[in-house]
């Protein structure tokens, strides 16, 4: 979860730069009168009980990107450097340094920004992402900027995401097994790191003696 960030100024500190803020361009229309709701029917086929995150797949430049985390708690959209590299779009990254803070105040410095055409169940949305190089359990994270522009309503309980379109409400189902595997790997990596830290502390104690 990304709760905020700080832009790192480029160039001389005393230089004043005019900054303009623009919203992401919406590439579709929607019917604001279409009601969005979830029912017991949406839970069919989901392994219960569960506490899984909502993970989906989307098309980016006609390539399917798996393990995309939907996170309403994030104030930014994030994508991994490795994904951009595999898509052959490194030359489209705009240099921009920003420090992103997590809920535990852990920091991650971005490598730049990139705007990509995201195809979600046939609906296109031009979306700006912050590019990071660090390891994480998912390939991309869609936060509130994407969710709000899509006017989407996610439900982790129902493992689904719904949004309005001129043709009616569309539903994107979550990939529950991918979510389970993704966070199982993340927990295993965290446990391994903790074990390494304990070993280092233990060895330091022995050296001191």
Distance of CA 190 to the CA centre of its chain: 19
Radius of gyration of the chain (CA): 20
Tell me what the mean pLDDT of segment 44-50 comes to. 89
Which of the listed ranges 42-56, 92-106, 146-160, 195-209 does the model predict with the highest average pLDDT? 146-160
Query: Other C-beta atoms within 10 Å of 181: how many?
Result: 14
Pick from 125, 151, 138, 113: which is nearest to 161 by CA?
151
Single pTM value for the model: 0.73
| Distances, alpha carbon 203 to alpha carbons 191, 192, 195, 198, in Å | 19, 17, 12, 9
Place 29 in a pLDDT band, splitting at 50, 70 and 90: low
pLDDT single digits (tens) 57-71: 999 988 999 999 999
- Residue 82 scores a pLDDT above 60: yes
φ, ψ of residue 18 to 5 degrees: the values are -75, 125
- State the pLDDT at residue 100: 84
Q: What does the mean pLDDT of the chain come to? A: 79
Distance, in Å, from the CA atom of 121 to the CA atom of 176, rounded to the nearest integer, reads: 18
* DSSP-based three-state secondary structure for 182: helix
Domains of the chain: 2-6+24-204 (2.40.70.10)
The verdict on whether omega for the bond into residue 91 sits within 30 degrees of 0, i.e. cis, is no
Task: Pick the more confident residue, 69 or 180.
Answer: 69
Pick from 67, 61, 64: which is nearest to 115 by CA?
61
């Amino acid at each position: 979860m990304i709760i905020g960030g700080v832009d790192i100024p480029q160039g001389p500190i005393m230089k004043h730069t005019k900054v303009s803020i623009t919203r992401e361009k919406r590439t579709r229309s929607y019917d604001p009168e279409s009601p969005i709701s979830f029912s017991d029917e949406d839970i069919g086929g989901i392994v219960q009980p569960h506490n899984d995150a909502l993970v989906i797949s989307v098309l980016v430049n006609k390539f399917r990107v798996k393990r995309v985390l939907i996170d309403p708690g994030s104030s930014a959209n994030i994508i991994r450097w490795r994904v951009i590299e595999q898509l052959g779009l490194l030359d489209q990254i705009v240099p921009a340094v920003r420090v992103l803070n997590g809920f535990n105040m852990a920091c991650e410095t971005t490598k730049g920004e990139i705007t990509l055409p995201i195809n979600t169940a046939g609906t296109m949305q031009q979306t700006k992402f912050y590019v990071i190089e660090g390891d994480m359990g998912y390939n991309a994270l869609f936060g509130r900027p994407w969710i709000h522009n899509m006017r989407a309503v996610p439900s982790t309980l129902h493992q689904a995401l719904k949004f309005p379109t001129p043709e009616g409400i569309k539903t994107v189902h979550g990939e529950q097994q991918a979510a389970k595997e993704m966070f199982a790997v993340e927990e295993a990596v965290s446990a391994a790191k903790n074990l390494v830290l304990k070993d280092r502390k233990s060895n330091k104690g022995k050296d001191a003696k």
